[in-house]
Structure 1
């Protein structure tokens, strides 16, 4: 019974990691969409709320398609390594040094991974942080 519980626990951990990875990739697509939609401008002129939503959804759809079709294997490895390191940093945030915690925007302040990556997204630092972490790992 003990071996069975260990296997089940590992399977659940693997599924949780996969879900966290997928959520992070989704947030990267969202960050790219916002960045490209604004194209360096501080504001976006829209006619009404439905127009704004339409623009955002079209750009987000484009980013999803672009990410699926045009992400090279090398870039996917970079994103994978960086996301794994980001997840590990968040999960073990109480064990990392103060300097690294500051660079990672204090992950110890977030009890939920979703809230943490949304915070990085709001700062427009999600993808750059992930790529830096991938390089840090090497």
Structure 2
């Protein structure tokens, strides 16, 4: 394989990793926004669908701003490392230990990374899982 082809493949791989990282950070912001909106309540009272969308969009915007302005370098490092391990765990899920797979909520069951992180989001454990992985050394 020539050098140009190797460089092109590495760049495509890096771009894909960056896209997966951005998608995961977006989901973390969404998880934080929903958690803050519900604030321990089981229901959220809204007037209509438009009102619900406006409330969610406003909270999501606040969360994006909060993440950009108030995330420490150390927390960003933990999130970055955790997301890298989460992506790697999903990509190589068929090769991992059964107990680890169960701890990571069976990533081998998902053929698409987006579906996997949405599953973790539904379980309200995306950010927690990422932070555990990011602090694991």
State the TM-score, normalizing by the size of structure 2.
Answer: 0.98
Instruction: Give distance in 1, aligned partners of 2:3 and 2:58.
Output: 48
Aligned residue for 2:8? Answer: 8
Instruction: Give distance in 1, aligned partners of 2:101 and 2:79.
Output: 20
Secondary structure of the structure 2 residue equivalent to 1:42? coil
The superposition leaves residues 27-84 of structure 1 with CA deviations (integer Å, 9 ceiling, x where unpaired) of 0000000000000001100110001001100000000000000000000000000000
1:34 aligns with 2:44: no
The superposition leaves residues 3-32 of structure 1 with CA deviations (integer Å, 9 ceiling, x where unpaired) of 111111000000000000000000000000
Instruction: Give the gaps of 5 or more residues in structure 2.
Output: none
Aligned residue for 1:131? Answer: 131
Instruction: Give the gaps of 5 or more residues in structure 1.
Output: none
Instruction: Give distance in 2, aligned partners of 1:2 and 1:102.
Output: 41
Instruction: Give distance in 1, aligned partners of 2:55 and 2:38.
Output: 11
After superposition, residues 56-71 of structure 1 pair within 5 angstroms as 56-71=56-71
After superposition, residues 1-138 of structure 1 pair within 5 angstroms as 2-136=2-136, 138=137
> Which runs of at least 4 in structure 1 moved beyond 3 Å after TM superposition?
none
Secondary structure of the structure 1 residue equivalent to 2:28? helix
